[in-house]
Amino acid sequence: MRTTPETVAELIARQWGDHRPGLRYESTVLTHHQSARATAARAALLVDLLPPGAEPHIGVLLDNTPEFPFWLGAAALAGAAVAGINPTRRGPELARDILHTECRILVTEPAHLPLLRGLDLPGVRILVTGSEEYAALLAPFATATPGEAVLGSGPGPGSRLLLYFTSGSTGAPKAAVCRQGRLAAAGASLARTFRVTPDDVHYICMPLFHGNAVIADWLPALAGGASVALRRRFSATAFLDDVRAHGATYFTYVGRAVQYLLATEPRPDDRDHTLRLGFGTEAGAVDAARFAERFGVRLVEGYGATEGGASVQRTPGTPAGALGRAAPGDDLAVIDPETGKECPPARLDGRGRLLNGEEAIGELVNRGRSLFEGYWRNPEAEAARTRDGWYWTGDLFFRDPEGFLYFAGRTDDRLRVDSENLAAAVIENILARWPEASAAAVYAVPDEVAGDQVMAALALRGGAAFDPRAFEAFLAAQPDLGTKMAPRYVRVLDALPVTATNKVHRVALRRAGFLVPEPVWWRPPGADGYRRLDEEGLRALLAAYETRGRRDLLDR
């Protein structure tokens, strides 16, 4: 008899009758059974509202409130899929995400209704949580049970459950397909790896519209029988108070969140809590060590795309700065995308600095088994991702002689800012509207702590001068400029450098970064406007890179 659930629907159904605490939010505590009842009611409502013949897709535009996991579970029970809608998107781009994934139902909350004003969303029914209409719609299904309401033949391992957006070289975000079988297996694997038990409490403070929180936090809690504690939005100052209030033992993070936590004022009780582990990405060896020293919590770095195409596992003996080796079954290689050949091993000095980056850095490719399940309605992007029979991650890595893999950045057209994947082309299209600019190029420069920052090179029209206040006003007026898209750095040039084929020379721009003779304007963290990056500011900035062990990234 099979005992390991093959679907997320089975994990949800397993909560029925379990009266231990299962979901914590602010002062509310629900049992696993109460959560399963709320989930089953929404599954029945979903089946009732979805038009015949429509794709079984529901958009969820919510903060981390209980409604988000309820609807994730409802989709699993019904055999439907959730498209996580990113509230940092704006205007037509936000509408495009909803319509591209063919969501006929959009669940949101009053706080996000202003984002939807003026958007043309034909055929999309909007449900507003907390409203009287919403309560009335749910009321007839209050006694529903798991498995009572399903679409078609019901959920199976091959049923779509998540459509999670990820950006790439095509500009528009792609919706990665995640099916129930892979997600259930991923949750079970992490639960085993981190020895999750019903006594654990998983603190979910990363946004649930991202794979990080769902795949690495919510799912292993389901698989291990742990409870979850939700935070509407991440707060560094409230982090430890939440952990103590909920008795949290595990959390997921991105590098920026770790930076914010380390920036809080140290307190004598920083180690007075129940946390035992954090799992995430891009914290960096320096900040991970500082976090462990201050809070007594081990951070485990991982690498794995939402698409499931490749993953790296940390093993005993992994050097500082490395992410680990290829997961079992993966045949990972660092490939020069121009030649298709494997890059030579990295040469590192005694401090772990890369000495041969130009030849050692390439794109991480999985030449073996891939769990990639495709992109929704985007065959061109699928073909690009799986060309030559390999899975191309779009991420730059290098590999040391012992086979340990090190993350080295994003490919030219991608940036990762505060855990958000951004496409350079989208930002360039916005900057091209500025009347003073004759040309614009957008590219990533390493952040001094983790991930990337947006840098723009602008060529101005004849006779124009860069006016930082006018540029700020222009950015503020753009309805489709997401909250992570505004450039941190702006380099002003007479003309953009080009290659022999008259393409913008992005490699040269990225390598130079802000260490250039031309004027560079920047927005220091916490500042409300652009200012010249003068010698004093540059010295302080470079010192910040040195402190975090990331100074060498500026020289690659």
Q: What percent of the chain has pLDDT over 70?
A: 96
**Using 50, 70 and 90 to split pLDDT, how confident is the model at 337?**
confident
Q: Where are the alpha helices (DSSP H) in 117-270?
A: 132-138, 180-193, 211-213, 219-224, 239-246, 255-263
Tell how far CA 177 is from the center of its chain: 15
CA geometry: angle at 291 spanning 205 and 546, to 5°? 115
Q: What is the mean pLDDT of residues 88-110?
A: 95
b/e per residue 51-63 (b: at least 16 CB within 10 A): eeeebbbbbbbbb
Could you read off the pLDDT of 191-204 as tens digits, one per residue? 999 999 999 999 99
pLDDT of residue 329: 78
pLDDT of residue 413: 65
pLDDT of residue 169: 42
Query: What is residue 544's three-state secondary structure?
Result: helix
pLDDT of residue 167: 57
**Using 50, 70 and 90 to split pLDDT, how confident is the model at 502?**
low
For the cut 70, the answer to whether the pLDDT of residue 462 exceeds it is: yes
**Using 50, 70 and 90 to split pLDDT, how confident is the model at 534?**
very high
Q: What is the mean pLDDT of residues 308-323?
A: 86
Nearest to 250 by CA among 316, 199, 284, 294: 199
Element (H, E) at 537: helix 535-547
Could you read off the pLDDT of 1-23 as tens digits, one per residue? 347 899 999 999 999 999 999 99
- Looking at domain 416-555, does it have CATH number 3.30.390.50? no
Distances (CA, A) of 267 to 46, 203, 205, 263: 47, 21, 21, 12
| Domain 303-410 shares a fold with domain 416-555 | no
Q: Which residues, listed in sequence order, are joined to residue 396 by a DSSP beta bridge?
A: 363, 409
**Using 50, 70 and 90 to split pLDDT, how confident is the model at 499?**
low
Q: What is the mean pLDDT of residues 140-145?
A: 98
Q: Which fold has domain 8-179?
A: Rossmann fold (3.40.50)
For the cut 80, the answer to whether the pLDDT of residue 410 exceeds it is: no
pLDDT of residue 451: 85
Query: What is residue 473's three-state secondary structure?
Result: helix
Q: What is the mean pLDDT of residues 96-110?
A: 98
CATH superfamily of 303-410: Luciferase; Domain 3 (2.30.38.10)
For the cut 50, the answer to whether the pLDDT of residue 353 exceeds it is: yes
For residue 388, give the DSSP letter. G
**Using 50, 70 and 90 to split pLDDT, how confident is the model at 303?**
confident
Instruction: Report residue 411 as tokens.
Output: 């490919």
Instruction: Report residue 125 as tokens.
Output: 């029914």
Q: Which residue has the higher pLDDT, 328 or 387?
A: 387
Structural domain boundaries in the chain: 8-179, 303-410, 416-555
For residue 319, give the DSSP letter. P
pLDDT of residue 37: 98
